A = this chain, B = another copy of it.
Amino acid sequence: MDLNQFLPYQLSILSLKISNGIAEHYQDQFGINISEWRVLVILYKNPDITAKKIAQLSQMDKVRISRTVKSLVQKNYLTQSQHPLDARAKNYELNERGRYLMRAVIPDALRYEEELLSQLNQDERAQLHHLIGKFNRILG
C-alpha cells in the first residue's frame, strides 16, 4: 500500500494545498480568513438573512457561523438587525464597507480560480466538473 497513491490521502493533500494558498492570500491581501470570506460571499448574494440560513448556504456549522459573524460585525463589514418575526434570530447584511470589500475580493477569487482552470483544457474542465458532482452525489 502506497500512501501517495491512496485516493483519500491525495485528495486531502490537494485540497489542503489549494485552501492554504487561498487562506494565506486573503489574510495578506484583505485581512480575512476563509470562514469570513465564505460568509461574506454568501451575504453578498443573499442580503438580510439569519445565521441559520448562512449555515445552510455555506455548509458551515452554527458555532463557526456565530463566531464568524461576530468577528465580521466587529471588523465593521456587517450590520445586524433584529429578525422581525423571531426574537432569537438576527438578520445580517453587508454594510457599505462590506460591499466595497467584496467588490475587490470576488474578482480576485475568480481570477485565482481562472488561473487554476486555465491550466486545464476544455475536456479536463468538463471531467473535473463531472467528477466533483459525482463524488458529491456518492458521498451525500
Contact = CB atoms under 8 A, between A and B. Distances in A.
Contact of A12 (B10, B18, B120, B136): B18
Contact of A45 (B2, B22, B124): B2
A127 interface: yes
Contacts of A21: 139
A104 interface: no
A19 B11 CA distance: 9
Contacts of A10: 132, 136
Given A6-B109, A7-B113, A38-B9, A1 B119 contact: no
Main secondary structure of the interface of A (DSSP, over half): helix
Contacts of A11: 11, 14-15, 18-19, 132
Which of A3, A21, A22 is most buried by chain B, counting CB atoms within 10 A of its CB? Answer: A3
A82 interface: no
Given A119-B134, A124-B131, A12 B19 contact: yes
18 contacts: A1-B44, A1-B106, A2-B45, A3-B58, A6-B41, A6-B109, A7-B18, A8-B116, A11-B15, A11-B19, A12-B19, A13-B136, A14-B15, A14-B139, A18-B139, A124-B127, A127-B127, A127-B131
